[in-house]
Structure 1
């Protein structure tokens, strides 16, 4: 695994100690006041001690009126700076970097816990029972609201820097707000924020510039970007390549490649060919093409489970950083085990209820509870009951809804 253990210098001079990154996973581990819980902080401390080159947090929301899940961490101001510093301190004494993934859900906000859904355009989400629910059509953002959200990304990034985080990642994939602006399926605006790709990319460019203005040149900024939406009329591979060029020219430090939305969840393996799943690296063909058009470091996430496949991806020169998500929830010592060769494969097979509508969510909420367990000092449980997970999650939603 010697290539995985090599360091990597990012464009702004930041050095990652090795090529393994914990990609973002939703933890849903904030308090009712949207502050990090001790379990969340302890989970990151354990991951940092394990030795990953980079840890990327799950969604940190920029506005408490736009939540993806009931217990998202939200950073709008400095009122929780002390507890955020405890989160930032989890990497002290290690060579691990800690980046926060900053996000706004847009139309992908959970309607049960948000009083209003907003998006680039009034295009409803066709999943989760929303297909014929006209009352769940999002409201198109006004320009002044767009500017405020851009400013919110920059403000949140600055607070995170003050809290001791060593970088941030813009969530520009999986159907969240940045992704919605990029996609011609969800962005049908006729002003400067819609229409041509240049206009649709304006939002992410302005988010990047605002963050950079706030945090300075020495603080790394990355982005998670879709290779494609995998939806008819959505963000295409060709358009994604153009955005890679745009962001590379802007000076972004790391581009993580994923793909899909929660309407077409390719990032979870849905719709992937059997040969692709067995190969493990879901978006490898895309990243080979991206490598030819940019020198910006590229991180590939989706499907990696075997050390030899990870090593080969880095040896190829097409991939600079290996992104791993769900295995980290089951194998908290993944990096240490991989580099010592105590374990070289990290399968993730979870229990299902057999109810399609429920099992679709299990790919998120089952792993969230595993993270909570080892953050509380428990051992991850591969046999964790899916019905228990579902009922517990339903209670969180109900509790948030009753609380308002």
Structure 2
């Protein structure tokens, strides 16, 4: 079977829904909402572009469930139906070529930059960030039982609204150090009640979120989770614990498990830094974990992080290690990459390469490359094509300036909520 044949195969999920191919756009934060967190036509244009490029499953950037708690300026928040017409247009654009569009649901917990936070940030426990990030983030307040229950219902309510708008599935963001990930981590979650302590208690939060969502959307609607293989942090979420959580959710009827890793303090998800050379060469950062978890669960897997060539993508699917190839940065530069591979062109390799300014202090900033890719999403949202030769330094300065102004405006708005 050729690479094109392998990656063009359909995939039927446990709920009965079929994905048209094996390409999955992993969530990237677009920051294309309004300053007061509403949907804009830019999101419709961006997802129409990815649909046109042949991606079978498009997962949106993190949609927040509570406008009092957003991770960045210009995040979209869905708490009610006030944006229903624009949500419907966004959903239609994402499925315009026969593919699927799922909404990623998120709560940042304590992972809200200090310059954006107007009040308390929330977490399972009042554990601050480490010394490198402590100045950038507030020490959070521990959530009350009532607040935990409210957040669970917010996830479910947002999922129900998105289903009504026409989105074809939802994903719980349980990775990268956001609130669900914080509950799972023994480092961040030091509670002594039913929500902390043992792994059984720590995973109660994502399990209750899943159950609440499933109750709202029904059995025939895809529900997924993005889960860290580990958070690579002392006393944190381990690979063995991750596998236990994955099996528990799979037994509950989960439709797709996306595997990633890391958090703001250990950003493995942001690139190859700290990843073994052999893993980088093989392209899939979390494939070893996927091979292990495959022995325990039969739920479809999506492995995200590192894929660049059609050959590596097809080999990962043919080996049985993953069912869906999760790609993000390549689609920010080459939205037509899935079509190119499915057309059978030999030796297709993404043009994505590390973005550097040549200034060491700047190049070591985790935000530096993210800013450059964010700029490419904004170009597509404006109806333009990506600009592979755009200056990295210019992109960084523009994004920092936009975030600074946006954070100030958001903080002022939030103070009145």
TM-score, normalised with respect to structure 1: 0.96
Give 1:331's aligned residue.
Answer: 334
Give 1:392's aligned residue.
Answer: 398
Which whole-Å deviations, capped at 9, do the CAs of 1:258-307 have from their partners, x for residues lacking one?
A: 11111111122221011111110101111001000001111111100000
Quick check: 1:264–1:270 contact (8 Å CA) kept in 2? Answer: no
SS in structure 1 at match of 2:275: coil
SS in structure 2 at match of 1:317: coil
Alignment partners' CA distance in 1, 2:111 and 2:252? 27
**Alignment length, in residue pairs?**
402
Quick check: 2:369–2:392 contact (8 Å CA) kept in 1? Answer: no
SS in structure 1 at match of 2:341: helix
Structure 2, unpaired ranges of 5+: 413-417
Alignment partners' CA distance in 2, 1:5 and 1:374? 25
SS in structure 2 at match of 1:107: coil
Name which of 118, 121, 134 aligns with 1:117.
121
Quick check: 2:47–2:93 contact (8 Å CA) kept in 1? Answer: yes
Calculate the aligned-residue CA RMSD, in Å.
1.6
Name which of 72, 80, 84 aligns with 1:81.
84
TM-score, normalised with respect to structure 2: 0.93
Name which of 25, 36, 44 aligns with 1:41.
44
Which whole-Å deviations, capped at 9, do the CAs of 1:95-117 have from their partners, x for residues lacking one?
A: 20000110001111122112221
Asked if residue 98 in structure 1 is aligned to residue 101 in structure 2, the reply is yes
SS in structure 2 at match of 1:74: coil
Asked if residue 187 in structure 1 is aligned to residue 189 in structure 2, the reply is yes
C-alpha deviation, 1:92, in angstroms: 4.5
- Cα 1:374–1:290 change in 2 (3 A) is same
Which whole-Å deviations, capped at 9, do the CAs of 1:331-369 have from their partners, x for residues lacking one?
A: 011111111144610031253342535731023221111
- Cα 1:295–1:401 change in 2 (3 A) is closer
Alignment partners' CA distance in 2, 1:345 and 1:23? 18
- Cα 1:175–1:209 change in 2 (3 A) is same
Name which of 357, 366, 372 aligns with 1:366.
372
Name which of 12, 17, 21 aligns with 1:14.
17
Alignment partners' CA distance in 2, 1:92 and 1:206? 29
Give 1:154's aligned residue.
Answer: 156
Give 2:353's aligned residue.
Answer: 349
- Cα 1:401–1:2 change in 2 (3 A) is closer
Moved more, 334-343 or 355-364: 355-364
